[in-house]
């Protein structure tokens, strides 16, 4: 692990033409080194505490000034623990001259400093509590941004909203664990049904929040690409595709009737889910491939055209239908396929239809949907958003260990829900909550392996 007290220095601006270059310096002995290299024109460098301030200095004739002359410049200086990394920090603002930049960096190294490793300044800010883990990781995304959308998404994460919500969720789980321990200590309260019901409600709220935060990780990364993937509903005629299309949108846009081929061409709309947008398409029904009916032939042709342009396919089948083969079989497509059972409220036996009740990250499982169940509509909307994220490569922007931590916390809280619902064993529930707390500690950065930290922050640029 890196020594956080070392005096470190690095150029903090990109190579290329600019009117100014910044050299960033931090660590023990910073004030001494600055006073040896520069003449303090206003007395600001001798401060031991206080807020950051812009200090006017001049190259000392005893050092760099002997070669470069009495050049005046500014230093943005935080003398104590109030700065962005919780320790003394200086940003030396130089005119654009790479030889001068190299001379300043070299002089600081001669006086006991060393070149900072990639991400070392960000690491110190994280360890000092100035940044949470999500914010620290988002700095890398800011640096790597290539479009305005990517920059906006990275800056949004860096603002700290998600990290604060994760910390609040961890705190809620800790409170629950305390209540469970109290139930174990006072055995008379074990049979308190009202308390069990309250705890179950809290667990369900935490599961919902974990799902929402996990989804926001994905959709923010997806929206950063600025693309608009096409989501196409595919299936036989008269199985409720248009009703599902309207339910997903939240308003009626597609014509609905209880007869086949009500939708004869295709309809599109823009769908926004937690800030990420896609185009959703209601296609005509695909039925008999050898029909001589010209209307059916044209509807089939247009539906196949939409399949060819799809990024994500909702492969729809009636809940009580025996036919189970994909309607787009035989057609070339690289789209992500989500299997959907429509009208599950009309199925002879609802138990025959498998519904995905696990983490929202489960993909390609069959999802049962009823337009009369908002929960099932929300589930398919979340799955669409997740698939859009996968199409846009969102998984690369946030470190994998953050995702793994969220998934582990979700599994542990799901197990706690099962224990509260079926087993009513407080000791088992407490064990599951402990696993969730440990997972959330990894996500928030309260407990994290040093090797993971090294790997994460070393990916940042030197000077960040």
Q: What is the pLDDT of residues 308-319, one digit of tens each?
A: 878 889 988 887
In a domain, 25, yes or no: yes
Q: What percent of the chain has pLDDT over 90?
A: 14
pLDDT surpassing 50 at residue 245: yes
Q: Same domain for 238 and 214? A: no
In a domain, 464, yes or no: no
Q: Same domain for 377 and 405? A: no
Phi, psi of 231 (to 5 degrees): -110, 115
Q: Same domain for 238 and 274? A: yes
Instruction: Give the CATH number for residue 238.
Output: 3.40.50.300
The per-residue pLDDT of the chain, averaged, comes to 75
Q: Same domain for 325 and 339? A: yes
Q: Same domain for 84 and 101? A: yes
Q: How far apart are CA 212 and CA 132, in angstroms?
A: 19
Supply the pLDDT for residue 325.
54
Rounded to 10 degrees, the C-alpha dihedral 186/188/194/195 comes to 10
Q: Same domain for 305 and 416? A: no
Q: Same domain for 387 and 241? A: yes
Q: Which long-range contacts (CB under 8 A, 24 or more apart) does 374-379 make?
A: 376/344, 377/247, 377/248, 379/355
**Per-residue DSSP letters for 122-157?**
HHHHHHTTSS-HHHHHHHHHHHH--SHHHHHHHHHH
In a domain, 96, yes or no: yes
**Domain region containing 301:** 230-391
Q: Which residue, 82, 68, 78, is CA-closest to 37?
A: 68
In a domain, 147, yes or no: no
Q: Same domain for 218 and 256? A: no
In a domain, 454, yes or no: no
pLDDT surpassing 50 at residue 330: no
Q: How far apart are CA 74 and CA 92, in angstroms?
A: 6
Give residue-wise pLDDT tens across range 60-107: 999 988 999 999 999 999 988 878 888 899 999 999 888 898 899 999
Q: Same domain for 209 and 287? A: no
Top pLDDT among 362 and 14 is at 14
Q: Same domain for 75 and 14? A: yes
pLDDT surpassing 90 at residue 59: yes
Q: Same domain for 49 and 120? A: yes
Phi, psi of 90 (to 5 degrees): -135, 140
Supply the pLDDT for residue 108.
93
In a domain, 234, yes or no: yes
Domain count, the chain: 3
3-state SS, residue 365: coil
pLDDT surpassing 60 at residue 452: no
In a domain, 462, yes or no: no
Maximal C-alpha separation, the chain: 96
Question: How big is the CA angle at 361 (ends 420 and 396), to the nearest 5 degrees?
Answer: 135
Q: How far apart are CA 39 and CA 291, in angstroms?
A: 90
In a domain, 34, yes or no: yes
Q: Which residue, 225, 191, 272, is CA-closest to 389?
A: 225
pTM of the shown model: 0.47
- Provide mean pLDDT across the span 271-277: 74
Instruction: Give the CATH number for residue 198.
Output: 1.20.120.430
pLDDT surpassing 80 at residue 194: no
Q: Same domain for 164 and 179? A: yes
Q: How far is CA 257 from the centre of its chain?
A: 40
Instruction: Give the CATH number for residue 87.
Output: 3.30.1360.120
């Amino acid at each position: 692990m890196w020594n956080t007290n070392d005096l470190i220095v690095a150029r903090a601006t990109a190579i290329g033409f600019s009117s100014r270059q910044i050299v960033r310096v931090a660590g023990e002995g910073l004030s001494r080194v600055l006073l040896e290299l520069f003449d303090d024109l206003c007395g600001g460098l001798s401060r031991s505490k206080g807020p950051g301030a812009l200090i006017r200095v001049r190259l000392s004739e005893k050092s760099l000034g002997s070669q470069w002359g009495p050049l005046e410049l500014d230093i943005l200086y935080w003398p104590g623990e109030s700065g962005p990394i919780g320790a003394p920090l200086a940003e030396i603002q130089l005119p654009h001259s790479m030889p001068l930049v190299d001379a300043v960096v070299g002089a600081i190294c001669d006086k006991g400093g060393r070149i900072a490793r990639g991400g070392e300044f960000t690491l110190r800010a994280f360890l000092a509590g100035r940044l949470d883990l999500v914010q620290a990781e988002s700095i890398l995304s800011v640096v790597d941004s290539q479009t305005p959308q990517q920059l906006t998404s990275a800056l949004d994460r860096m603002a700290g909203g998600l990290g604060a919500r994760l910390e609040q969720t961890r705190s809620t789980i800790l409170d629950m664990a305390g209540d469970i321990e109290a139930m174990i200590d006072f055995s008379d309260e074990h049979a308190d049904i009202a308390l069990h019901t309250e705890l179950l409600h809290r667990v369900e709220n935490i599961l919902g929040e974990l799902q929402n935060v996990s989804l926001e990780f994905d959709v923010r990364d997806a929206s950063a690409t600025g693309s608009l993937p096409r989501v196409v509903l595919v299936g036989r005629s008269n199985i409720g595709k248009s009703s599902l299309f309207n339910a997903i949108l939240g308003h009626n846009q597609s014509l609905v009737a209880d007869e086949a081929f009500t939708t004869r061409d295709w309809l599109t709309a823009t769908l926004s889910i937690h800030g990420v947008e896609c185009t959703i398409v209601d296609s005509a029904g695909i039925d008999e491939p050898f029909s001589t009916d010209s209307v059916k032939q044209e509807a089939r042709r247009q539906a196949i055209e939409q399949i060819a342009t799809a990024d994500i396919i909702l492969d729809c089948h009636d809940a009580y239908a025996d036919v189970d083969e994909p309607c787009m079989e035989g057609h070339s497509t690289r789209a992500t396929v989500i299997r959907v059972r429509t009208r599950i409220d009309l199925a002879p036996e609802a138990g025959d239809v498998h519904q995905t009740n696990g983490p929202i990250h489960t993909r390609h499982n069959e999802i049962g949907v009823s337009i009369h169940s908002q929960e099932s509509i929300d589930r398919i909307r979340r799955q669409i958003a997740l698939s859009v994220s996968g199409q846009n490569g969102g998984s690369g922007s946030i470190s994998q260990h953050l995702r793994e931590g969220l998934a582990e916390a979700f599994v542990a809280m799901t197990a706690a829900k099962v224990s509260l619902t079926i087993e009513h064993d407080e000791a088992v529930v407490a064990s599951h909550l402990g696993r969730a707390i440990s997972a959330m500690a990894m996500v928030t950065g309260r407990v994290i392996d040093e090797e993971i930290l090294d790997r994460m922050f070393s990916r940042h640029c030197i000077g960040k």
